[in-house]
Amino acid sequence: MLNLYLIVVCVLISVLTYWWYRKPLKFPPGPKGLPLLGILPFLSAYPEHEFGTWSKKYGPLMSVPMGWQNWVVLNDYETIKETLLKRSEHFNERPKIRFLQMLSPNGLGFVPGGEIWRSHRRFGVAALRRFGGSKGVIERKVNEEALNLIEELKKYEGKPFQMENLLTNAVSNVICSIAFGRRFQYDDDKFRGLVSSLLAVFKMLGHWKTNLLMFIPFLCDVPSFSSHINEGRKLWKPVRDMIADLLIEHQSTFDPNDIRDIMDAYLECYQQKENNLVLEDLQDFFVDLFAGGTETTASSLRWAFLCLMIHQDVQEKMQEEIDTVIGKDGTPSLSLSDKLPYTCAVVHEILRFRTVAPLSLPRCVAKDVTVCGYNLPKGTKVLTNQWQVNNDEANWQNPSVFAPQRHLDENGNFTNSRHVLTFGAGARMCLGEQLARAENWLFLVTVIQRFRISVDPDDPDPPSLTRGSNAIVYIPDAYNMIIHSR
C-alpha cells in the first residue's frame, strides 16, 4: 500500500511539474522560476534590472512566470517597435489586474480596453489638444506656474529645504488649470494634504504586498492584503473627493456657450451624447488624468534637480548657455530650444538616466499574434522594460554614467535619439507626452536660470542618485537642497 501511495504522489508531482512548466507552442523562452511563485522570489526592488540581465541570455523578447501567470517582457527598442508600434492593434489592451481595477476601474490608466477605454482615449486626446495642445497655451500656463514656483522658492533661499511637495504642487497646478480651470495656492492646507496623499499612493505601489497582489490575485481576499488595499483607497480618497467637489461646482456653473476647461468639455460631450461618455465614469477619468499628469512629471523634475545638484559642472554649462540665449531675466520659450542644444541634451539625458516609468504600465495581447518568430496567444500579459532600453549597452556607452554630451553630435547640435524611451509606445503611450515634455523643459530652465542649486554640505545623509522608491513611478527619496539667487 505504501508503494502505491508513493507512486500516486510521484505521478501527481510529475503532472503538476509538467503543468507548471508547460508553455504554448513557440512561446518565448525565459527563466523557469519556482512552482506557484515563478520568478517573484528572485526579483529585487528593481525588477527591470533582473529582466535586463535575463534578456542577455534568453533574448530581448522573453517570457517570465509571475506567480502562476506567464508574462512576456520586451527588452529592446527593436522588439518594442515590432510589437507595440507595428502591431499596435494587438497590444492595445491592459490586463485585468484586480488590485489596480479596485483603485480606478473605469478611468484611463488601468481600464483593460473596450468601449470605455476607446471613449476616454478619444476624448482625452481631443481635450488636451483643445485646452493645452498648442505650444502657446502650454507655454503660457507652464511659465505662469513656473514664476509662482520661483516666488515660493525665494522664501527658502540660503537654507536647506525639501522641494518635493512644492514641485508636485506646481506640476499639479498646470494639469488643474487645464482640466479644472483653477490652480491652488502653495499654502493651501487642503491641497497640501492632497499632494501628500498622492505621493503616498505612488510610494505604496512599490510595497512588496502590492507586487504580490499584482501577480497573485486571490490575495486580494486575504485579510492582511485586503487591509493594504483599503489603505490605498484611503490615500486615493482626497483626490476622489476633490474631483467630486469640482464636478458639483462645474455642473452648477456649466454654460454650453462657454466651455472653460476639460471637465466642462466632458459634461458637454455627455449632454450631447458624443464619444459615448458616461457621467458615472467621470470621476475615474479625472482621477487618472490628475494623478498621471502630476506624479510622473514631478518625479522626473525631482531627479533633474538632484542630477544638477550633484553634477555642478553640468549645471554651470547649462546656465552659461541659458544666460547667452535667454538672459537671466528673459522668458524661456520652447521656440528657443534649437538655440539651447546643451540644455536639451541635459533634459534628454535625465529622461534616459532616471527612467521614471521603468516597466511602464502592463499591456495585454488583444488577439493571437506571431511576432519576432514567437506565438503570443490572446490574453498574454506584456511588460515594456523602458529602463533596459535606456540602459542598453548596444546603444549607450557607460549607460550608468550621467553624461548629457552623449546627445550632442560632433558640431554640438542636439540629437533626439529614439532609444530614449520614457512615455511608452503605440496605442497606450502617455496621453500627455507633449505637455510633460514642455513642463520638464520649461520648469527646469526657469529654475536654473534664476538659482544656483546645491547639496546641503552639513547634511548627515546626503542625497544619492541611486536611492528611490520604485513602483509604477520611480520616485527619488526626499532630499535637502540649498538655493541661491544668481
pLDDT for the residue numbered 13: 53
Using N-to-C axis directions, what is the helix angle for 433-450 and 114-132, rounded to 10°?
40
* Residue 38, strand partner residues: 34, 66
Q: What is the CATH number of the domain that holds 361?
A: 1.10.630.10
Residue ranges of the chain with per-residue pLDDT less than 50: none
Rounded to whole angstroms, the Cα distance separating 31 from 451 reads 49
* SS3 labels along 185-203: CCCCHHHHHHHHHHHHHHH
> What local confidence, expressed as pLDDT, does residue 239 receive?
87
**Contact status, residue 279 vs residue 270, Cβ threshold 8 Å:** yes
What pLDDT sits at residue 73? 97
**Residue 88 CB-half CA count within 13 A:** 9
- pLDDT at position 107 is 80
Per-residue model confidence as pLDDT tens digits over 57-95: 999 999 999 887 899 999 999 999 999 999 999 999 999
Q: How many domains does the chain have?
A: 1
Q: How many CB atoms lie within 10 A of CB 192?
A: 17
pLDDT for 135: 60
**pLDDT value for 216:** 81
Q: Spell out the long-range contacts of 168-172 with Cβ–Cβ below 8 A and sequence spacing 24 or more.
A: 168/195, 168/198, 168/199, 168/294, 168/295, 168/298, 169/195, 170/145, 170/146, 170/443, 171/293, 171/294, 171/297, 171/298, 171/301, 171/439, 171/443, 172/198, 172/290, 172/293, 172/294, 172/298
- The phi and psi torsions of 96 (rounded to 5 degrees) equal -85, 90
For helices 164-180 and 262-271, angle between their N-to-C axes, nearest 10 degrees? 30
Give the domain extent around 81. Answer: 2-485
Q: What is the pTM of this model?
A: 0.90
